[in-house]
Chain A
Amino acid sequence: MKRSWEDLYGEVPASFETRMRDTLASLPAAEPVDIRRFRFRPSALIAAVLMVMLLTGAAFATDLFGLKSLIVTDPYAQISPTASPAASDLIALQGFPESPEFKANSEWMDALAAARKAPDPVWTAEYPYSLYSVSSPALQARLDEITARYGLKLHSTVRDFDSEEELYALLGCEDSFFSNCAAISGYVYEDGSFHGDGTSVAGICYEYQFGRYGKGSFSEVTLHVGNPNDYEEWLYTTKEGVTVQLSLGPDRCVLMADLPSSFVAVNLLGGTRGDGLYMPDPVTRQGLETFAELFNFSALG
């Protein structure tokens, strides 16, 4: 028997279709939209800026390293011949803007975007290039060129882990990276870089994706953050004395820490709006700081 993804769950039952149609029929007709144009008032704008400065004392200090400064080209953005391209909301996660890891990933995203115009659908990358989005000999050469220029190594081996203990065993590590970690699974590279989907509990359940990026290695991992202007960002010093950058957004939060031998980026799967798929309750500023205390950055460094 030939398996196929089509008809995985069979035909749509009549009762399901009926419910859909009944619901659609019950919708009220659209009301005319009340368009109110925003009128620019300089005094209001200045007042708002001053208020933001007062409320977030570290605004200027963090602006250099805010999410906005980490945006890279989105190589998979939809290309329309008529519409102007949408602003990218993709950030690199390997370091702050001046780091070789960030610059290399940024250039690599440019290369991937350019390569979309002339894809090579037949060619297949071999190991270790198959660990990256290398889809043509030209891209492979480009990756070699970028990583050589920034003095970065490509990953060579990757292994899965299904628990904290397995992670530490693979790394040969005796210190614990996490506090109150209920579950974590993911994959780890030969240099100690790893990604994991984790759950930690501290009052509430924090669901997150954790990334540790070894300095000196190349990683192409990126993250969509939506509009970076929607985030409140500040620096926070943990109880163990490590300063981290926190970004509190409507649908997600981002934690970043520039450590001596690695860069840590954590994507918390919940935000201020509180309607996330994984974290249904709103995340607050204090909640995000509590979250930052769940990691042992000195061990991760």
Chain B
Amino acid sequence: MTKDQFTVQILDMEKTLYRVACGILRSEADREDAVQECILKAWEKRSALKNDGAFRSWVTRILINECYDICRRGQKLVVMDELPEQAAPPELENRELRDAVDQLEDIYRLPILLFYVEGFNIREVAQILQIPEGTVKSRLYAGRGKLRESLGEEVPE
């Protein structure tokens, strides 16, 4: 993979990388650090990627690892309900949904983000999170149940 090809594919993933980082880290600075490390590591290890079709899920997994590294290094374990409020971007219309997702525990939030927001299929989510497909399904089911508790019946499909 050439540098140009790599750059194009990473830029195509910009929104995915941002949203996944948002799902784990609350500080913009941390998110930027995580994506920088992710890009550097993905470039360095690109020869390990056997199937170019899996680039998106592979990079996402690297990013998640980097986010958790940042959490560990800073002892900033994500406990969403203890974190200070963060101003919603002005263009954000569904603040309630975001708050409800942010309140979910990691084990539910990440599968929900990857499946519903990023459009990864069950198998890809399982590979990214290194958990069985059955566990992905059960976490999606349980996660939606928790969102329904917070939002009533208005959980988007």
A residues neighboring B (CB under 8 Å):
1, 3-13, 15-17, 19-21, 23-24, 27-30, 33, 74, 76, 78, 86, 93, 160, 186-187, 195, 197, 209, 220-224, 251-252, 267, 269, 275-278, 280
State which residues 28-75 of B face A: CB under 8 Å. 28, 31-32, 35-36, 39-40, 43, 47, 51, 53, 61, 64-65, 68, 72
Smallest Cβ distance from A211 to chain B, in angstroms?
A: 8
Chain A residues within an 8 Å CB radius of B117:
5-6, 8
Q: A8 to B40, Cβ gap below 8 A?
A: no
Of the residues A76, A186, A224, A275, contact of B121 by C-beta under 8 Å: A76
Q: With A5-B156, A16-B18 known to touch, is A23 a contact of B40 (CB < 8 Å)?
A: yes
- Further pairs besides A6-B117, A20-B10: 19, Cβ < 8 Å: A1-B96, A3-B151, A3-B155, A8-B117, A9-B98, A11-B91, A20-B14, A20-B35, A23-B39, A29-B3, A30-B1, A30-B3, A76-B133, A209-B132, A269-B131, A275-B65, A276-B130, A277-B130, A280-B72
Chain B residues within an 8 Å CB radius of A24:
6-7, 10-11, 39
Of the residues B3, B32, B88, B94, contact of A19 by C-beta under 8 Å: B32
Chain A residues within an 8 Å CB radius of B155:
3
Smallest Cβ distance from B38 to chain A, in angstroms?
A: 9
A sample of 20 inter-chain contacts (CB < 8 A) reads A1-B93, A1-B94, A4-B97, A7-B92, A8-B97, A9-B18, A9-B19, A12-B15, A16-B31, A20-B36, A21-B11, A27-B39, A197-B135, A209-B132, A223-B132, A224-B133, A252-B130, A275-B65, A277-B65, A277-B130
- Return the chain B residue nearest A28 by Cβ: B3
Chain B residues within an 8 Å CB radius of A74:
123
Chain B residues within an 8 Å CB radius of A5:
97, 116-117, 156
B77 near A: Cβ within 8 Å?
Answer: no
| Bound CA span A271–B78, Å | 24
- Return the chain B residue nearest A13 by Cβ: B28
The 10 A-B residue pairs with the shortest CB-CB distance, nearest first, are: A10-B89, A221-B134, A9-B22, A19-B32, A10-B92, A223-B132, A12-B18, A3-B94, A3-B97, A23-B39
Q: B133 to A27, Cβ gap below 8 A?
A: no
| Bound CA span A91–B110, Å | 24
Q: How many residues of B contact A (CB 8 A)?
A: 61
Smallest Cβ distance from A291 to chain B, in angstroms?
A: 16
Q: B35 to A16, Cβ gap below 8 A?
A: yes
Chain B residues within an 8 Å CB radius of A6:
117
Q: B6 to A7, Cβ gap below 8 A?
A: no
B79 near A: Cβ within 8 Å?
Answer: no
Q: Name which of A7, A11, A209, A280 has the most chain B CB atoms within 10 A of its CB.
A: A7
Of the residues B32, B127, B151, contact of A16 by C-beta under 8 Å: B32
- Return the chain B residue nearest A221 by Cβ: B134
- Return the chain A residue nearest B5 by Cβ: A30
Q: B156 to A23, Cβ gap below 8 A?
A: no
Q: B92 to A187, Cβ gap below 8 A?
A: no
Smallest Cβ distance from B42 to chain A, in angstroms?
A: 10
Q: B6 to A27, Cβ gap below 8 A?
A: yes
Smallest Cβ distance from B35 to chain A, in angstroms?
A: 6
B140 near A: Cβ within 8 Å?
Answer: no
Q: B134 to A10, Cβ gap below 8 A?
A: no
| Bound CA span A275–B69, Å | 10
Chain A residues within an 8 Å CB radius of B101:
8
Q: A277 to B53, Cβ gap below 8 A?
A: no
- Return the chain A residue nearest B133 by Cβ: A222
Q: B132 to A221, Cβ gap below 8 A?
A: yes
Chain A residues within an 8 Å CB radius of B135:
195, 197, 209
- Return the chain B residue nearest A29 by Cβ: B3
| Bound CA span A236–B106, Å | 34
Of the residues A11, A19, A269, contact of B36 by C-beta under 8 Å: A19
Smallest Cβ distance from A134 to chain B, in angstroms?
A: 14
Q: B18 to A222, Cβ gap below 8 A?
A: no
Q: Name which of A13, A17, A20, A275 has the most chain B CB atoms within 10 A of its CB.
A: A20
Q: B94 to A15, Cβ gap below 8 A?
A: no
Contact with A along B111-129 (1 / 0, CB 8 A): 0010011000111001101
